Amino acid sequence: MDGQSSPDDPQVSFEGRDRMHYDQDGRRWQHSATYFRGEHTNYYPKDRSLSAPWCIREYIAKGLMPDEPLFTRQSTVVAFGSCFAHHISHYLHQRGFNVPTRRNGVTYVAEMGDGLVNTYALRQQFEWAWLNKAPTVNVWHGDDLVALEFDETVRQATTALFDSADAFIITLGLSEVWYDEPTGEVFWRAVPTHDYDPARHKFRLATYEENVANLAAIVELIRDRRPQAEIVLTLSPIPLTATFRPIPCVVADSESKALLRAAVGHILRETGDDRLRYFPAYEIVQRFFNHPYVHDRTHVHRHVVDFAMSVFERYYCDTGLTDEELFERFQHAQELDRVVALEGHKAVPSFKVGPR
């Protein structure tokens, strides 16, 4: 039965003992009332849901976004983490926001800001900067595979950077880690071939408990040193390129992401910190497009990234982007998604590959 309701109206009503009516996307539906489904049930979007002007507010932003934008162009936003962090920092930098980790500098979080792919690597940078605590063996390497020293000049620059931050945007990437067995210390990424020692370098999956502990330590440090800073956690939608486990990579990636997403959910529920939030980049890419990835099924199409970042801009950034403009961008991205389905990946614009 059709109705005239909007997502702001009460969603459920009971009629009799065996039927329940609920409103979704301006239409009334019914299903069995055998089980109580709550008074504030949020339903998974249908195909028709994505054509509703309120779909972003209802299916992406609800209960997650700040009431008012948090960042002005004068805010110092420190953004780093997994490879999707590059898109976040680039988007904000291009729009005139102060993102020092986007500019070349002496800190490793600027130089390698989209290569810190596990929660151990992220925690190491905060503890090194603020506690002067460094690994006992070198588990940090640059893109050229050269070991990065625990240089005091770099550490002090990192401390100054963190001390200036009004906001931290931290992107989590994966749970699979290489580590040094005698010390237990974890590498940023894999072990360079010229350094690999099978007697001491091992591989494993970081557990849910470990990821929770690492995130809790990061949040605690930020709250101790920058108590008023906003913290935005996000999960990279870019999957594992390969796994070193004896299972298919798609299965390993699913478990890796699930561990991180569950850990983030735990931290948000348990801390009760109103300056700690989750931005659903992973869910936007995975759930709102049919063909979000380019031909390698790893990197995200430009129009999908642009829409995800437009959602971030609308709710976090004081740029004046309206709901109407955001919905127009979503419709445009959806149209390009259909073009990919009909004409292939090359039929839509791609990112230019160039220096960071």
Taking the CB of residue 126, how many other CB atoms lie within 10 A of it? 23
CATH number of 65-279: 3.40.50
Cβ-contact 118, 185 below 8 angstroms:
no
Q: How far apart (Å, rounded) are the C-alpha atoms in residues 173 and 316? A: 22
Of 77, 169, 162, 82, nearest to 125 (Cα)? 162
Find the angle CA(162)-CA(309)-CA(63) to the nearest 5 degrees. 85
pLDDT at residue 254, rounded to an integer: 97
The values of phi and psi at residue 215, to 5°, are -65, -40
pTM: 0.89
Per-residue CA distances from 252 to 77, 248, 286 (Å): 32, 6, 17
Helix and strand numbers (H, E) in the chain are: 10, 10
pLDDT at residue 5, rounded to an integer: 44
pLDDT at residue 144, rounded to an integer: 83
Return the beta strands (E) in 192-247 as ranges. 201-205, 230-235
pLDDT at residue 280, rounded to an integer: 97
pLDDT at residue 34, rounded to an integer: 67
Residues paired with 185 in a beta bridge: 180
Q: Is 156 helix (H, G, I), strand (E, B) or coil?
A: helix
pLDDT at residue 21, rounded to an integer: 64
Query: HSE-up of 195 (CA within 13 Å, CB side)?
Result: 17
Assign residue 271 a region (left: φ > 0; alpha: ψ between -120 and 50; beta: otherwise). alpha
**Domain chopping of the chain, boundaries:** 12-43, 55-64+280-356, 65-279
The values of phi and psi at residue 176, to 5°, are -75, 135
Q: What is the largest CA-CA distance in the chain?
A: 72
Q: Is 295 helix (H, G, I), strand (E, B) or coil?
A: coil
The amino acid present at 345, given as its one-letter code, is: H
**Would you write out the chain's pLDDT as a tens digit for each of its 356 residues?**
333 344 544 454 545 555 666 677 777 766 666 666 667 778 899 999 999 999 999 999 999 999 999 999 999 999 999 877 888 888 999 999 999 988 767 899 988 867 889 999 999 999 999 999 999 999 999 888 888 889 999 999 999 999 999 999 999 999 999 999 999 999 998 899 999 999 999 999 999 999 999 999 999 999 999 999 999 999 999 999 999 999 999 999 999 999 999 999 999 999 989 999 999 999 999 999 999 999 999 999 999 999 999 999 999 999 999 999 999 999 999 999 999 999 999 999 986 533 33
Query: HSE-up of 252 (CA within 13 Å, CB side)?
Result: 19
pLDDT at residue 354, rounded to an integer: 35
pLDDT at residue 140, rounded to an integer: 93
Cβ-contact 70, 56 below 8 angstroms:
no
Exposure class string for 241-251: b at 16+ Cβ within 10 A, else e: eebebeeeeee
pLDDT at residue 13, rounded to an integer: 53
Q: Is 226 helix (H, G, I), strand (E, B) or coil?
A: coil
Q: Would you call 318 exposed, middle or buried from its count of C-beta atoms within 10 A (0-12, 13-18, 19+)?
A: middle
pLDDT at residue 270, rounded to an integer: 95
Cβ-contact 219, 267 below 8 angstroms:
yes
pLDDT at residue 106, rounded to an integer: 86
Find the angle CA(51)-CA(57)-CA(59) to the nearest 5 degrees. 70
Please say whether the dihedral angle defined by the alpha carbons of residues 8, 11, 15 and 19, taken in this order, is positive or negative.
positive
